[in-house]
């Protein structure tokens, strides 16, 4: 499998998107828990910039963590690769990129986006300088995002297995 660099490292956009508050996201989360988010994999395809994060139980975003991850061009890319859903989670400093690459699938009515990373790689530009396979977790310990909502303006909210809340912004030219 070829490492596909996440294209979020290119030009963090000057966004004019209304970002929901923690309170708004919590209301959307209650609705998603009760009746599902209605999201499908086509709603998730593309490259997503990490915009905000909240720790479990907090209504205040983690400002420093978001600042750090934005400046490292933190990116979540979901695509279709040979009839399977591929997930790439990456951070970059200039041309140096650390990427975790694996497979993803949706399950349940909410739904949950389960994923597992098959390998980690370090690239300098297009040159892969390090690649190592990763051990696979037991199915009951697989990481996931509980999908909350995605709006037409291009943001996506989800809660991770550890309880943290994340908000991503879709890179405009990557929607499939």
Q: Report which of 89, 119, 141, 111 is spatially closest to residue 42, judged by C-alpha positions.
A: 111
| Per-residue tens of pLDDT for the chain, all 176 residues | 333 344 444 344 445 678 898 899 999 999 999 999 999 999 999 999 999 999 998 888 898 988 898 899 999 999 997 778 999 999 999 999 999 999 999 999 889 999 999 999 999 999 999 999 999 999 899 999 999 999 988 999 999 999 999 999 998 765 54
Structure tokens at 84: 């399977």
- Model pTM? 0.84
Torsion of CA 147, 88, 49, 80, to 10 degrees: -70
**How far, in Å, CA of 76 to CA of 61, rounded?**
19
The answer to whether 114 and 142 are in contact (CB under 8 A) is yes
Peptide bond between residue 63 and the one before it cis (omega within 30 degrees of 0): no
Rg from Cα positions in the chain:
16
Q: Give me the domains of the chain, ranges plus CATH numbers.
A: 22-174 (2.40.128)
Beta-carbon count within 10 A of 106 CB: 17
């Amino acid at each position: 499998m070829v490492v596909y660099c996440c294209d979020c490292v290119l030009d963090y956009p000057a966004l004019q998107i209304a970002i929901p508050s923690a309170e708004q996201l919590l209301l959307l989360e209650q609705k998603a828990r009760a009746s599902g988010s209605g999201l499908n994999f086509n709603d998730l395809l593309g490259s997503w910039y990490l915009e905000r994060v909240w720790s479990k139980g907090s209504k205040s975003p983690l400002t420093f963590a978001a600042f750090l991850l934005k400046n490292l061009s933190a990116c979540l890319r979901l695509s279709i690769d040979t009839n399977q859903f591929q997930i790439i989670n990456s951070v970059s400093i200039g041309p140096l990129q650390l990427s975790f690459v694996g497979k993803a699938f949706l399950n349940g009515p909410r739904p949950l986006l389960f994923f597992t990373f098959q390998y980690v790689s370090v690239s300098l530009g297009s040159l892969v300088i390090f690649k190592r396979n990763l051990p696979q977790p037991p199915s009951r310990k697989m990481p996931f995002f509980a999908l909350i909502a995605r709006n037409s303006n291009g943001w996506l909210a989800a809660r991770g297995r550890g309880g943290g809340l994340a908000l991503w912004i879709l890179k405009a030219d990557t929607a499939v």
